[in-house]
Structure 1
Amino acid sequence: MTDGQDELKAQFAQWRHYVQRRRELRQSDAEELEDHLRGSVDELVAVGLRADEAFLVAVKRMGSLDDLSREFAREHSERLWKQLVLTGETDSPVADTRSRRDLLTMAICATGAAASIKVPELFGMSFEEDGAFYRPNVGLFALPWLAAFLAWRRHATKALIGVLLALFALGAVAANAYPLTDDSQSVVLTSIHLPIALWFVVGLAYVADDLRSPRRRMDFIRFTGEWFVYYVLIALGGGVLIAFMFGTFEAIGITPEDFITQWLLPCGAAA
């Protein structure tokens, strides 16, 4: 009996070590999983199985650890970077390929957003002289690319993709149907409310894999808050780096003001 208990402890130690290697799980999540596994083992031992047999059956019943770690990461410690990058089976070649594909797609979308904000300049517009155009349309430069990535990541249906395209097109029409001057109150109202409306379109792409799930909608609310916090932190860090870069180039007699204001700031903010 003692040997069986010692073997069971060793099996739990090995399982615990493997679980703790999963970066998706916090310590409290791993402990909750272990408690669940121990409860299952105790139940199986109570009905006559040996300890080592009970452990193997209990682990099998729990299913794939990758699936469990993904579910726990989403339920208990969902964070923005995990939602966008988390792919699960981090030790398998298939998962490694999928992770690289996700990262490449994310980079393409970020590049597309950065390039989009420069497209109007091809038609003779500029930030200084055409503020009445840029302010209402600011959300249309970046948010469609974010929605595209989420829709791709969530395997959105063709029908939903069509709805997303139609809603973004409607936003573009609403922002540009009537020519407005810089001092128009409509410019201010559109600049405030259109990005908010388009963010709900992004939310539709976010819940594309389970449109009827209340949990997914709550996840999007959490995603929104964390996105805002991370965006502000990145912006503050970027501001410090820009100031450092500006001072460095000024010290050697180069003024990078045009590059910073015309390229780095707008493209970086969009990406």
Structure 2
Amino acid sequence: MSVINRVAEHIHNPRELERMFREEPESFRQSFAHAWERNPDSQVLAVWNERLHYQESTAEKKTSWFQRDFITMGILAILAGICTRILFHYTEREDIAIVNLAFGVLPFIAAYFAANNRPSRHVAYTLASLFAIAIIYLNLLPMKETDSVILAYWHLPVFLWVVVGFAFTGNEYRSGRARLAYLKFNGEFGILYACMAISGMLLTGITMNLFRLVDLDITEFYFTNIVVFGAAGLAVVAAYLVSKNLKLAKNIAPYIARIFSPLVLVTLTAYLITVAWVGRSPFSDRDFLLSFNGILLGVLVVTIFSITERGFDERKNMTDYVNAALIALALIIDSVALAAIVFRLSSYGITANRLAVLGINVLIWANLIWIISAYIRLLRNRTGPSTVQDAVTKYLPIYGLWAAFVTVAFPLIF
């Protein structure tokens, strides 16, 4: 039976028409016109007619928007490369702190998001003000690398990351789904940027060897001009590609999340058993306490990445049990770390580093409690996955506020 006859035969079966379209979209499009001419009074075919022709009428508009968006990305990528190269020059001379390089990339990614989202004036002015205040304050800090200043350098990028998220969500910055999309964007961005960076390193190696063949060493010139410029511009390009639903990152990210979560769970369990066996204690060993906190942050990042790659409507599966176990282990680690930090504070006194570590551990502990309680309700079929995702997304501004507090207040207090 021809496709034309099948369209006419199933005129009262919308489900079958949808199946035919998905299996043979081009044949369906070509044959639909004949069925539509024979059955002009069919409401089902009328809907299909509008659907197919609407797509055709908007194709030109989409193409022009894509071109304009591409030009915007190109301009911002070039500006990011130039700005980063200038900042790198001054960091080499030690006139400014190296953390200033963040301002060669993040404001331009935020500008790209703002150009796409068309935020309200209030949101746009807030974004510009936050970046301006941050760079001015950063360069008012003394260049002496005291503990409080170093803490400011470490926390400022976290604050700027939250500001970029504000640009990403635009006028929907209060929406949990918009925040979740930003977290998902970060995972996909990291995957894509890593792939592009590996390609860039291969190109760099080939270029270096080609010039060495003619007895020219361009290593310093190439790094300070091409690599620095390219690394910054590539970040804007990667943000553009991810926002355009590039299938590479979007298809790989869920599989990475599902593979890494159980691997991290097994590795972490083995590590904790080994630590208990050999008798290492974060109460007496400062370096071990720092590594303990590093593990905690790593587990939190992996788990959040896995949660963001979970579909809104997916039923609970093995990944949820793995994530819940990871969160439970992270909660144990954080509780031990908190006890060790309180012990060190009471034994050796208050310092900027100890207070900063205490603060971030308290914040993470509260977030983990929220996430694990949401997971317990999910695994007991008392709620859906959105509850777990809310426990992640609604807490993001708190991390940003803490980062801003450490950046601004600690150099003044200590």
Task: Answer yes or no: same fold by TM over 0.5.
Answer: yes
Runs of 4 or more above 4 Å deviation: 3-6, 8-14, 60-66
Q: Summarize the Cα distance change of 1:108–1:134 in structure 2 as closer, same or farther, 3 Å threshold.
A: farther
Partners of 1:136 and 1:190 within 8 A in 2: no
Matched, 1:260 2:200: no
Matched, 1:170 2:159: no
Q: How much is the aligned-residue C-alpha RMSD, in angstroms?
A: 3.3
Larger radius of gyration: 2
Query: Which residue does 2:69 correspond to in 1?
Result: 102
Q: Summarize the Cα distance change of 1:149–1:233 in structure 2 as closer, same or farther, 3 Å threshold.
A: same
Q: Summarize the Cα distance change of 1:94–1:198 in structure 2 as closer, same or farther, 3 Å threshold.
A: same
Partners of 2:81 and 2:230 within 8 A in 1: yes
Partners of 1:138 and 1:195 within 8 A in 2: no
Could you say what secondary structure the match of 2:135 adopts? helix
Query: Which residue does 1:29 correspond to in 2?
Result: none
Query: Which residue does 1:69 correspond to in 2?
Result: none
| Aligned with residue 60 of structure 2, among 70, 76, 93 | 93
1:169-220 Cα offsets, whole Å, 9 max, x none, are 1211231112213x44445423322111111111111111423322111101
| Aligned with residue 98 of structure 2, among 106, 113, 135 | 135
Q: Summarize the Cα distance change of 1:196–1:4 in structure 2 as closer, same or farther, 3 Å threshold.
A: same
More helix by share: 2
Matched AA of 1:254: L
| Aligned with residue 116 of structure 2, among 153, 158, 161 | 153
Q: Summarize the Cα distance change of 1:51–1:162 in structure 2 as closer, same or farther, 3 Å threshold.
A: same
Instruction: Give runs of aligned pairs for residues 1-271 of structure 1, distance below 5 A.
Output: 7-8=8-9, 15-16=21-22, 17-18=24-25, 53-59=42-48, 92-120=59-87, 125-130=89-94, 133-181=96-144, 183-186=145-148, 188-271=150-233
- The Cα shift of 1:144 comes to 0.6
Unpaired segments of 5 or more residues in structure 1? 21-49, 67-88
Q: TM-score, normalised by structure 2?
A: 0.46
Partners of 2:91 and 2:98 within 8 A in 1: no
Cα separation, 2, equivalents of 1:225 and 1:90:
35
Partners of 2:123 and 2:171 within 8 A in 1: no
Q: TM-score, normalised by structure 1?
A: 0.67
Percent identical across equivalent pairs? 24
Partners of 1:136 and 1:187 within 8 A in 2: no
Q: Summarize the Cα distance change of 1:166–1:94 in structure 2 as closer, same or farther, 3 Å threshold.
A: same
1:227-258 Cα offsets, whole Å, 9 max, x none, are 12222222222112111111111111111112
Cα separation, 2, equivalents of 1:172 and 1:225:
26
Could you say what secondary structure the match of 2:92 adopts? coil
Cα separation, 2, equivalents of 1:224 and 1:13:
35
Cα separation, 2, equivalents of 1:240 and 1:224:
24
Query: Which residue does 1:83 correspond to in 2?
Result: none
- The Cα shift of 1:128 comes to 3.2
Equivalenced residue count is 214
